[in-house]
Structure formats: structure tokens, C-alpha cells
Amino acid sequence: MKGVQRRIVVVVFPGFQLLDLAGPADVFGTAELVVPGSYRVEVVAPRAGLVPAGNGVTVAAGALDEVEGPIDTLMVAGGLSVPRHLADAGLVGGIAALAGAARRTASVCNGAFLLAEAGLLERRRATTHWLSAGELRERYPDVEVDADPLYIEDGRVWTSAGVLSGVDLALALVGRDLGHETAGRVARGLVVYLHRPGGQSQFSLPMAALTPRSEPLRELQAYIDAHPRADLSVPALAARAGMSERHFSRVFTRQTGLSPGRYVERSRADAARRLLETTDHPLETVARRCGLGTAETLYRVFRRHWRVSPGDHRRRFSPPKER
């Protein structure tokens, strides 16, 4: 479909999250600069005119019920106001109608609730912001909710997690349409990560672990992250913290939400991720430098925490070599 302009229609409503629109729109707009004639973005709302975002910024939108013709991609924004719009029959019905005319439909953040209310997620796997996942699961039991991935593709429907994952989803769509090289150029132009795979967890290491209340454990946490090759066994960490092993394990787990071993493994996986993205070291070298020992261990740990192989991650994320 290269050379064919794809029509992107983004649905907003009063109180929508501005980044849910602006992030994907900038991705598609930048792709249009890289490959002229590739995308055209339109913004629509239940009523035409200026629509206020949740932060007070207003955007001009056309009327949802006046959209005609085929649509390549229908995207639905989220926002704190989504719950009060679920009873808006015009909005929900309009989304359902436009989805029928679209090649694919997507939501950003809790915009997934509007897709579910429109009946578009029935018997589909979907994600949303992790804070809203439980409510989505409870309200729509026929939806298979997975709170972990950044985004999910299930047939013609894509859903994404918290706000900025809309950028990841849009980059994935560009990669699907125009190839990963083009998506990489778009990402570099926007100075964002080169297309994180959708299966990658919403939870980075800092998000997954709480900051300890006690200063000694905060210092120890920083030490772990800065010294992945050090002896980070429970005995060594307990001694560094001046505690017995049993007491240390109990306090660390209570204050961070992760056991010491789990935290260390995630920290080393994060260190490996950074090395893969910024160096061309062989996998054995990466494994040694991040404290994982062997390439086999690196592979197992990386798959467990990032849901992709180290080699695939490097191919997707590392900058292109100079020619």
C-alpha cells in the first residue's frame, strides 16, 4: 500500500487526554514527512467545533456523524472523562458505525472502555492503563483483559496501555504499513524509543518496584541498579544493609513490593536492555557486564522480563550503523 494515503480518524470528546491525540498524530504526521502521501489525520467529536481536552487546551474537530467514505484507521482517545461519556449513545454508536467502515480500529489508554461499550472488544484480548484494567475486566466480562502489555493486536482491533503507549501503538501501525525502517526514522525524528514491541510490559523497573521508605534501602536499591556485576546475593546485600538475611528479605520485600532476588534480576535485565540498545557487544559480553553470566541466562531472563529475545530487541531498538 506504499504510496496510498491512509486516512486516520481520531475520535475525541470533552475532557479527553490531549496526549492520546497528539502523540499518535505526531507519529503519523512525521511519517507523512518521511513518506509523503502516506497519512492524513482527521479529528472528530460528537459535535463539531472546539473540543476542550482535560488540560484545558482546545482542538477543532469535525462532527463524528458526518464522516463519510472509507477509513484506514479509527483511533479513540481516552481521558479522565471517559466514564461519563459511556452513556453517550451518539458517541458510542458513532464509534461502532465508524469501526464498521474502518480497516482497523484502535484505542489509547482507557479509550478501550468506549470500544468495549460499542461492542468492539467482545471475545477479544485487550489492554488499557493498568490502573483501569480491573474495572474494564469487571464491567465487560466478555473482554479478555491483559493489563501488562503496552499494546495488543487482536484481529482488526488494537488497544494500548497508558497515555504514551499510544505513540508505541502508532509506531507499530507505521511499521506495519511502511516497514520498520520507516518507523525507525519516525521514532528517531521524534526522539523516542524505536518501536517497543507490544508484548513489552507496561511496567519498567522503576514502576514495578516501590521506592523504599528507609534511607539504607534506598541507597541499596541505587547500588543494585548501578552495579549489576557486583555480588548481589541476599547474603551480600543483607550484610551491606547491616541486617540479618531473613530480616533484610522481609523488609526489602515489604518496602519495594519485590523480593531481593526478583529486584536484582529485573535490574540486571534492565541493564542488559540498555547495553543491547547502545552497544554492539556480543551477547556473551552483555551477559557478563550485566551480571547474568552467560548468553543462555541472558536469553531466559530477557524473555521472562521483556517478552522478546535479546537479538530481536537489538534489531528493533539499536540505531542504524553508519554507512
pLDDT at 197 > cutoff 60: no
**CA of 312: how far to CAs of 15, 182, 195, in Å?**
39, 17, 12
pLDDT digits (tens, 9 = 90+) for 271-321: 898 888 788 899 999 999 999 999 999 999 988 877 778 988 887 666 555
What is the predicted pLDDT for the residue at 195?
Answer: 47
| Cell triple for 40 | 492524513
CA distance linking residue 109 with residue 19, whole number of Å: 10
**Per-residue confidence at 131, pLDDT binned at 50, 70, 90?**
confident
Per-residue pLDDT, averaged over 127-135, amounts to 90
Cβ 18 vs Cβ 81: under 8 Å: no
pLDDT at 322 > cutoff 50: no
**Per-residue confidence at 150, pLDDT binned at 50, 70, 90?**
confident
Per-residue pLDDT, averaged over 79-97, amounts to 96
Per-residue pLDDT, averaged over 240-244, amounts to 94
What is the predicted pLDDT for the residue at 225?
Answer: 87
Cβ 230 vs Cβ 291: under 8 Å: yes
The residue behind cell 464522516 is 67
DSSP strand pairing (102-107 vs 71-76): parallel
Per-residue pLDDT, averaged over 118-136, amounts to 93
Strand positions, DSSP E, the chain: 6-11, 39-45, 49-52, 58-63, 71-76, 102-107, 125-126, 144-145, 151-154, 157-160
Cβ 26 vs Cβ 19: under 8 Å: no
| Cell triple for 70 | 472509507
What is the predicted pLDDT for the residue at 61?
Answer: 98
A 10 A CB-CB count for 244 gives 12
What is the predicted pLDDT for the residue at 16?
Answer: 97
pLDDT digits (tens, 9 = 90+) for 2-11: 457 899 999 9
Tell me if the pTM is above 0.85: no
CA distance linking residue 89 with residue 145, whole number of Å: 24
**Per-residue confidence at 106, pLDDT binned at 50, 70, 90?**
very high
